[in-house]
Structure 1
C-alpha cells in the first residue's frame, strides 16, 4: 500500500472561504504528486492566514508522505490552533500514533476530531478512514468501518467512494474495490485517480493489456496527469517480466513512461527516490548511479541515497564503494534495512575478497558476506530466489566450495522458482569440490549431492543429465551398485529419444563414459558384465583407449 499513500490526502472535501481556490490548487498539485509545488502553495496560504487549520493539515500530510515526521508533527500542532479545519489535525496526529503502534492514542485523537461535527459531515470520517488505510501499520477493516459510516451519510460522495476503493484494495477485496472506484468516477467524471485505480486493479490481476487500455483512457482525458504514466511504466515492467519475448521492448516503454511521469512532477527528492526504486527494478544501474549522485547534491544527508549508491556501485564493478555506501546506510539504527541491502552487502564482500587471478577468495570476507546473506534471508525468505545468479557467478569462477552454501538455500523448498536449477548446481558444486586431485572425497557431502540430484529427478524426470550426475557422484563415493544403476538409467533415457539423440557428439561421449564406468564397477565382481560393457564402448568408438586397455587386462 505504500504506492497508495501518495494520494491519501488529495481529495478531502470542504475548503475555507478566503482560500478556496488556493487550497483546491494545492490539492490538485498533491494529486499530481507535485509535492514541492503543493508545499509552496500551502506555506503561502499559511503565511497569509496562520490560523488556516486545513492548510496545516494538508502540509503535515505531505511531510508524512515524504517521511519528514518532525515537520509533520509541527504542522499538525500548529494547525490545532487554527479555525477552519483545525480538528483535522487531530487526525494527522492520530495517523502518527498509528504509525508508532499506539492505536489507543490514535482513537482518542480521532474522537476529538469527530467531537462537535455536524450530522452530515463526512470529511473527518473520510480522513480517519484514510489514516487507517495509509498508516505504516494499516488497519483496513477499521478504515472500511469509518468509511461506511461516511457512505451512510452521503452514499453519492465521490471522495468517500474513492477512499473506500483504496481501503478495499488494501484489504485485498478486489470486487468491492472495483465497485467503489467505478462509483467514484461515475459520481465525479473529473476524478481521474478513481479511473486510474480501475487500471491498477487490472494490473494486479495480470490483465496487462486491459490495464494499459484503461490507463490510456485516462491519458485521453488529461495527457498531463502525471501519476498515470508511473502506473503505465510499472505495468509494462511487470508485463515484460512475464513475457520474455517482449521484455526488451516493454522495459524500454516502462523507462519512457517513467520519464514522462518525472517530467510531469516536480522532480523533488521524493520523486527521485521513487524513480531510483524503479531503476533498481529495471536493473539500469548506470542510470541509478547517475540519479543517486544528483540526489546527493540535493540532499547530502538523506540516508536512502546511500542505498542506491551501494547498489549501483556494486553493479558497476565497484565492490569497495558498494560496501562503504551500504555500511554507511546500515550503521544508522533509525534506517529501515531490507533484505536486498544485506544481499548486496554480502555479494559485494564476495567480489572484494576475490583474488586478482580469480582462483581464490579471502575467507574472512567470504564468511562475512555469507553471514550477510543469512541476515537477508531472515528478513525476507524469498530473497533466496535471487541467490541463484550469485551462486552461478561463483561457480563459473570454479570456486566450487564457496558456491555450495549459496546454492543450498534454494534446495530447501520445492516452491522456490529456481528449485531445480539450485539443486543441480548444489550437487555439481559438491561433486567438483570433491573431485580434485588434492582433495579427499567427503562421503557426507557427496551424499547431499546425491540427494540433490534425486530432487532434480523427482521434480523433472525428463532431465536426463541428472542421472549422469548422480552416477558420477556415486562413483566418487565408491558405490558401485548405484553407479551402475544411474549410468544404465541415463543410457536408457537417451536411447528412448531415438538415433538422432544418440548420434549427437556430446551424447555419444556421455554414453561411452557410462559404458566404461559401468564396466569399471563390474570389474571386481562380474568380469563377464564388465567385458560386455567395454565391447559396447568399442562398438561406438573402436579406438577407445580405456576400453581397449581394460578389455586386455580382463582377458588375461
Structure 2
C-alpha cells in the first residue's frame, strides 16, 4: 500500500498553483492560495489532523471556491492510503465524496471536484464506467484549441492522469495519455514528471521512472521529493546501499522535511539496523511537531517497521491523555498480538474496546481477523471463546471474500480444534473457488477419518494416492482407515495396505521411520492373530532393527517376540528376550516379573522332565 501512496500523491508535496505558461512573471498568490498551500504543506508532511483543520478554516472563509473542497477531499484519500490499518475505506471515501459533492454545489464550474468523484468510484469499487462519466465532464471543460490551454488545464489533466492508478484495475495507458497532454501544455512543471515517473514505477519500469524523476529534479532541484522517489526505486530493488545516498541528499536539501526521516527509518528497518531506524523515526516525530497527531504517525511508523513493543508503548502514552481516537485501540490490539512475547489478554481488551465504540463503517476486515486470532490463541479449553473466535474469523472473511489465505486459515484452525465437519466444509469451499492446495485433500481425508466416516476417508485417500503416488501419509492413512473398518482384523483389510506402504517406502527407512514402525507393528500383530508366528517374528525383528537409537521401539519389538515365543511354549527364548529388555531398561517391572514367572515355569518343566 505504501507504494500506492507514493505513486498517487506526490502532487500534494508542492503548491497547488503554478503560473500560466504565457506569463513571464507569476502574479502574487491570493490569500486563498497562500492558505491552501499551507494546508497542502501540512498534508505533504503527513500532518493530517492539522491539515484538516487548515482546510476547515479555508472553506469557512471562502465557501464558494471549489479548489478548497477538492484538495481537502484529495488529502482525505491520501490519509486513507497512508494507513489502511487505522482507516476504513468506506468511512474515508464517504468523507471525501461529501467534500467533492459540496465543492460542485458551491462552485459548479470547477471540474476538479468531478475528478474527485471519479476517483471515489475507482477507489470504492473500481467502477470505471461511473468514473469515466465524471472524467468526461472534466475533459469537456478544456479548450479545443491548443493555444487557449493554460497551466490550470495542465493541472486538470495531471489530476486525471494521477487518479487512473486508484482501484484494482489500473489504467496505465490512460494515465500516461493524460499526463503527456499535460506535459505538452506545461513542459517545465516538475510535478508532471513526478506523476509520469509514478506511473512507470507502478508498472515496474524503473528505467523510465528514473528518467522522469531525474527530469523533475532538474526542474526543481530544491525539492527533496525527486530524491526520495529515486531512492525508492533502489529500495524496491532491495539495493539499500544505493538508496541511502538519495535519502541523505533529500535530507540535505530540506532537513525539516519530516517524511524523509520516515523513509530513512524504514530503510534502516529493512537493513536490520533497528537503532538507526528508531532514531530516524524519532526525528520524524520531532519534526512533525511532537504533538499527539505526530505521535500517532510515529506509532504507525514503528508498527510498520515491526517494532511492535515501542509502538504499543507510544499508543498507550497517547491513550493515557487522549482517548478520543478510537482507532488507536485497534492499533494497540494489533501491536499486542504481533509483539514477542504477545500480550493476548491485553490485546483482547483493546480490540473489544475498539468494537464497543466503532460504527460499522469504520470496521475493516483486519479488525475481525486480529480479534479472531487473539481469541483463538487464548481460548484453550474455553469452548465459548473458541466459538467467538470462529465467529470473528467468518466475519473477517465475509468482509473480504477474495482472501483465499484466510479460507485456509479458518479451515486449518477448525481442523486443529477438532471441529472436523467445519474443517471439511471450509476446505471444500476453498476447492470450489479453484484455490485448493495439494495438502487440502489430505486434511479432508483426515477429518473424515477422525469423524469415523471411514468410507469417505477411504475414497479420499485412494484418490490422493492416484494423484500423488509418492504421498506416504496417504498410504498410511489409507491403511489406518482400513484397520478402523476391520477393528478385529478378521477380514485383513489393512494388511495389504500396510504391506503396500512398506514396499513404497523401500530403503528410505530414516525419513519414514515412524510410518514403518506403525506398519511393522500392525503386520506383526496381524500374523500373531493368524498364528503365523514365523512371519510375525520377521516383522518384529524389522521393527527392532529400524532405529538402533530408539529403545522404546526395541523394547516393543522384544516384548512382541517374547509373546510369540511364549505362545510357541518356547519359555527359555521368551525369558532371554525379556532379559534383553532388562538390559535396555533395568527399571522395567513388567520384564522383571515375566523373567521370574518364566523361570518358575522353566524350572517346573525341568522337574517334570526329570521324572
**When the two structures are superposed, what TM-score results if normalisation uses the length of structure 2?**
0.65
1:111 corresponds in structure 2 to 139
1:29 corresponds in structure 2 to 42
Distance 1:148 1:89, change over 3 A: same
Structure 2 segments unaligned to the other structure (5+ residues): 20-27, 80-91, 487-493, 549-553, 571-611
Which residue of the other structure, out of 504, 518, 535, is the alignment partner of 1:529?
Answer: 535
Within a 5 Å distance, the mapping from 1:151-230 to structure 2 comes to: 151-230=183-262
- The separation in 1 between residues aligned to 2:220 and 2:74, in whole angstroms, is 24
Which residue of the other structure, out of 399, 402, 405, is the alignment partner of 2:423?
Answer: 405
1:553 corresponds in structure 2 to 567
Within a 5 Å distance, the mapping from 1:205-354 to structure 2 comes to: 205-235=237-267, 239=270, 249=272, 257-266=280-289, 269=293, 272=296, 275-276=299-300, 279=303, 282=306, 284=308, 287-288=311-312, 291=315, 294=318, 300=324, 304-305=327-328, 307-308=330-331, 311=334, 316-318=343-345, 321=349, 324-325=352-353, 327-328=355-356, 332=360, 334-335=361-362, 337-338=364-365, 340-350=366-376, 354=380
Distance 1:420 1:553, change over 3 A: farther
Does the 8 Å CA contact 1:467/1:490 hold for their aligned counterparts? no
Does the 8 Å CA contact 2:66/2:104 hold for their aligned counterparts? no
Deviations 1:117-168 (A, max 9, x none): 9435222322332343457986443322211101223444311111112233
1:380 corresponds in structure 2 to 403
For 1:190, what is the secondary structure of its paired residue?
Answer: coil
- The separation in 2 between residues aligned to 1:275 and 1:406, in whole angstroms, is 41
1:72 corresponds in structure 2 to 99
For 2:344, what is the secondary structure of its paired residue?
Answer: coil
Within a 5 Å distance, the mapping from 1:31-180 to structure 2 comes to: 31-39=44-52, 54=67, 57-66=70-79, 67=92, 68-69=95-96, 72-73=99-100, 76-77=103-104, 80=107, 88=112, 91-92=115-116, 95-96=119-120, 99=123, 101=127, 102-111=130-139, 113-114=141-142, 118-121=148-151, 122-134=154-166, 139-180=171-212
Structure 1 segments unaligned to the other structure (5+ residues): 241-248
Structure 1 residue 257: deviation in Å?
Answer: 4.2
Distance 1:421 1:547, change over 3 A: farther
Does the 8 Å CA contact 2:348/2:374 hold for their aligned counterparts? yes
- The separation in 1 between residues aligned to 2:317 and 2:522, in whole angstroms, is 59
For 1:492, what is the secondary structure of its paired residue?
Answer: coil
For 1:168, what is the secondary structure of its paired residue?
Answer: helix
Distance 1:276 1:514, change over 3 A: same
Does the 8 Å CA contact 2:330/2:354 hold for their aligned counterparts? yes
2:5 corresponds in structure 1 to 3
Structure 1 residue 69: deviation in Å?
Answer: 2.4
Distance 1:363 1:451, change over 3 A: farther
Distance 1:112 1:309, change over 3 A: farther
Distance 1:386 1:441, change over 3 A: closer
- The separation in 2 between residues aligned to 1:417 and 1:73, in whole angstroms, is 40
Does the 8 Å CA contact 1:219/1:225 hold for their aligned counterparts? yes
For 2:331, what is the secondary structure of its paired residue?
Answer: helix
2:594 corresponds in structure 1 to none
Structure of greater Rg = 2
User: Which protein has greater RCO, CA pairs closer than 8 Å, 6+ apart?
Assistant: 2
Structure 1 residue 61: deviation in Å?
Answer: 2.9
Structure 1 residue 76: deviation in Å?
Answer: 3.1
Are 2:530 and 1:520 aligned? no
- The separation in 2 between residues aligned to 1:139 and 1:551, in whole angstroms, is 80
Deviations 1:309-356 (A, max 9, x none): 554566632376366356557861x34632x33433434554565436
For 1:493, what is the secondary structure of its paired residue?
Answer: coil
1:244 corresponds in structure 2 to none
Are 2:509 and 1:485 aligned? no
